[in-house]
Structure 1
Amino acid sequence: MSQVDNHANAGPPREAGPVGQLVATLEPSPPVVVDELHTATLLERRGITDQEARDKYGCEDVFALAGELFRSLPDRSALPQDETSARPPHRFVLLTHGLLYSVPGVVYPAVLVAIGAPALVRGMLLATTLGWVWGMGTSVAAYRLLGQGFPQAAARTWRRLAALGLGMAVADATLLAATGEGGAGLVVFVVLQMSFQLTSGILVFYRMEWRLAVIVVPAFTAGAAHLAHGYDAEHATPVLITAIGCCALAMGMAWWATVPTRQPRDRAPQAPVQAAMFSVVPCIAYAVLSALFLLYNTVPFVTAPLDLALAMAPLVLGMGTVEWRTHRFNVQSVALVHRVHATAEFHRRVWRLLLRELAMCVMVLAVLGALLLTALSVAGLLTPRGVLLVGAYLVLGGAYFLGFITVNHGHFREILAITAVVLVLNVAATMTLSPFFEPYGEVPIFLAGCVALLALLLLALRLNLGDVHHYR
């Protein structure tokens, strides 16, 4: 909390009694609070509960105590607006993220022709995991620096960590190629996949999604044409050349976007870069666990029959919707906490809001899944396992929505424990039980794991969703 000067206006005379004593504990440097909600946040962080507000301070709940305390504090000056805070992203922009995420998948058939299935699977596993983890850690660190008023430091962080990440990708891919199939083609694939993930993260960070969309249109068109021609080897080379060119353009655009002199000046010469990097460790741990869970259950289906290989498409295309509904929940929950005056009422209404946004996420993913299943059925390619796998990814999309909310609230201990337990049980069940469901016995086990992840995250949020300090 920011502090005001000790010689600020004295405000109303200090009251006697429990509330006056509580005010005294905040002096001689009382925190800057701008409204009663901010005061309620302060009380919750001090561990004051509704029961304590009733028993010790004679108020109905923490909200009522916050009102009493707010009127007893000295004069408050408004908190300065952060000049570096970005406007909230437009709904349409968030929805297009799913389409951008799907572009590499359209090029994979050409890569399959070029380097073979075993190399594609190994390279995708390495590049996706490394890109997911490295990209999440870098973006969280950059967002923290930007939010603290250090836009130039955020840009330098993007540049340095992206370059370091690509260097790691080259080294890891070279080692991978030396121990199996793929050769130089595997190295190029891993580096390009990693570069696309990092550069797309940079351009999304700087709200340049439309430029990224324009850049990847040629690769998407070439990949779609290759799919239409039935994966033939003759059309693979033009697709790969186009994809390499698009990746190079995207990298150039990202490098230009992160020029430090293009950003507003930092508010201080020394940026807390080390502190920002240290603070992302829980986010990286969650990214590792999430990537392992997804890839462990996805890689076996890359070269499976078409209904299994395409089952993840609705989730990829719908991730923009998941981001959008997360953003809507964040905005509406903050508005809700200003409209209610009792803790119990807020608990009920914010829980209903969460369930509504979760239902909307799953519904949109279900519509996309139904379209895919219909197309596969018309083509005579649909199997019961394909239906189950699509259902598993729909449930996983709902779990991702809940995971975003949990991470935004800072409950890393809960989400790390839940994801780790589900991952371990999923691996153990797949190794011991999948032979009983052959072929592709992993499908029902994956579905059970996604349901467990969703249920446990709902339970964790049910216990702390109503804490007011999450919505400041």
Structure 2
Amino acid sequence: MNPADRTATPRGPDPVGTLLTALEPQLPTAVDELQIATLLERRGMTDEEARRRYGQDVFDLSRALFLRLPARPHRPPAEPRTPRAAKLFAHGPLYAVPSLVYPAVLIALGGPALVRGMLLATTLGWVWGMGTSVAAHRLLGQGRPRAAARLWRRLTLLGLGVAVADAALLATTGDGGTGLVAFVVAQVGYQLASGILLFYGMEARLALIALPAAGLGTAYILLGFDADRAAPVLAAGAVTSTLALGAAWWATRPRGEATGPARPENLRPTLIGTLPCVCYATLSALFLMFNSVRFITAPLELAITVAPLVLGMGVLEWRSHRFHARAVALLRRTAATADFRRLAWRLLLRELGLGLLALAALGAALLAVLASAGILTARSVLLLGAYLLLGGAYFVGYILVNHGEFRLVLTAVGAVTALDIAATVAFSSHFAPYGEVPVFLVGCLALLALFLTALRLTIGRVAPYR
């Protein structure tokens, strides 16, 4: 919209002019219709209220207000950039590297110690990494890259300290000893370090670091879990974790001189602001680990069905970025709220479908391998389906979190997790063997359905796309 096309601001008694008089002090110097729509939404304005009071929906009202603003310098907003697909595709395999070392850890520590250590390491790394990443992104968004780097360093060191303390306490309650502590610290270290390197776009460097552990771990699995070959795999895993931490420390080194005025190092508001994300990560980890832990030491056809989900996480991440970028472009060329809501929902279903199609392709390849090996079972097909549905829930949940819909997200995942645990305890024995599989499948379907319902109710809001 050209600023010269705007008319003078009316000061008469008409409702739109009165609203503009109240809003104008809060409007930024450079403004477009979408910024005004965002401001109206944050003040609680809905389409129904806008039609009742002003005779038009939020989109049209925002445009009318924008046209009445006095001329100001106007700068078109930048188009959102989607990260390179190849980098995002690599995230899934990079996330999967620790699991390739699990068979050697199983030989070294035994099944019970592996399960307990994996539960602790995966949950701690997931939750701690999520909180740290969100806080660092917020600092970067505030124009504080040096503060973000310092935060990465401090919280990574603190996270490793928590891992040591928790693993040492866990080792006193059962088998594993110092080996259990080393396993937990190595995995948490890799998870936190990989989060830093991916944050700074260093996927290629992380892949190079992870190559020895991935290669030896894969060879160990293909050669049949030979106990005599476990030591090199464990050593490669330890070296990979150490090198990843070193690379992450280098990535967060101070660079150049600080620009702009010095800001007080008060991180408390930023850290407090991450609590909803941390709660979501905690509930998500509880839901996944409660259901998946029983399959770690199950027959191979069940233990590896999670692989398509892990390997395809980068694809889901890419499709979520594509959705946001295309939704922003759609918003800028849509004339009415109802049209945007309808088209955005269609776009969401398209991106979700493409993401699930990618996971299904990986799943079909896995089923073909299992069938050729003669170990494909109905339970493995059901469990694979559950993980595919969970991938869809992660995709929709990621968008909901980006939209700030934490109340809906936490309510949905909390309710599904509680009901899933109760149903597993009450009904899994009726579907033996591995009766947890159908219960988990229903839980994943319920989570996806609830997330889609929540997004259907909120997808037409303007604020998340600003």
- TM-score range (shorter-chain normalised) is over 0.9
2:177 counterpart of 1:183: yes
What corresponds to 1:310 in structure 2?
Answer: 304
* Equivalent position amino acid for 1:141 in 2: A
Distance of 1:442 and 1:104 partners within structure 2: 25
What is the identity percentage for the equivalent residue pairs of Structure 1 and Structure 2?
Answer: 58
Q: What's the offset of the Cα at 1:161?
A: 0.4
Q: 1:469 to 1:87 in 2, by over 3 A?
A: closer
- Kindly provide the CA deviation profile for residues 36-82 of structure 1, in whole angstroms up to 9, marking residues without a partner as x: 12222222222223233333223x32211111101222343457999
- From 399, 403, 407, give the equivalent of 1:405: 399
Distance of 1:301 and 1:266 partners within structure 2: 53
What corresponds to 2:371 in structure 1?
Answer: 377
2:106 counterpart of 1:112: yes
> Normalization by structure 1: what TM-score?
0.94
User: Structure 2: which 5+ runs fail to align?
Assistant: 1-5
1:145–1:272 contact (8 Å) kept in structure 2? no
> Normalization by structure 2: what TM-score?
0.95
Q: 1:262 to 1:132 in 2, by over 3 A?
A: farther
2:90 counterpart of 1:69: no
Alignment of 1:87-236 (within 5 A): 88-236=82-230
User: Structure 1: which 5+ runs fail to align?
Assistant: 1-9
2:8 counterpart of 1:12: yes
- Kindly provide the CA deviation profile for residues 297-338 of structure 1, in whole angstroms up to 9, marking residues without a partner as x: 001000100110001000000000110011000100001000
* Equivalent position amino acid for 1:42 in 2: L
- Kindly provide the CA deviation profile for residues 225-284 of structure 1, in whole angstroms up to 9, marking residues without a partner as x: 111110101111011111111111111100000113358636542245111100000000
- Kindly provide the CA deviation profile for residues 142-195 of structure 1, in whole angstroms up to 9, marking residues without a partner as x: 000000011100001000000000000000000111110001100000000000
How many pairs were matched up? 460
Secondary structure at the aligned position of 1:382 is classed as: coil
Secondary structure at the aligned position of 1:219 is classed as: helix
2:7–2:67 contact (8 Å) kept in structure 1? no
Q: 1:224 to 1:28 in 2, by over 3 A?
A: closer
Distance of 1:389 and 1:289 partners within structure 2: 20
* Equivalent position amino acid for 1:97 in 2: H
> RMSD over aligned Cα, in angstroms?
1.9
Secondary structure at the aligned position of 1:102 is classed as: helix
- From 16, 21, 26, give the equivalent of 2:18: 21
Alignment of 1:344-383 (within 5 A): 344-383=338-377
2:136–2:152 contact (8 Å) kept in structure 1? yes
What corresponds to 2:271 in structure 1?
Answer: 277
1:150–1:265 contact (8 Å) kept in structure 2? no
Q: 1:55 to 1:179 in 2, by over 3 A?
A: closer
Distance of 1:335 and 1:438 partners within structure 2: 50
Distance of 1:169 and 1:229 partners within structure 2: 32
Q: 1:227 to 1:24 in 2, by over 3 A?
A: same
Alignment of 1:405-424 (within 5 A): 405-424=399-418
Distance of 2:80 and 2:399 partners within structure 1: 20
* Equivalent position amino acid for 1:126 in 2: L
Secondary structure at the aligned position of 2:255 is classed as: helix
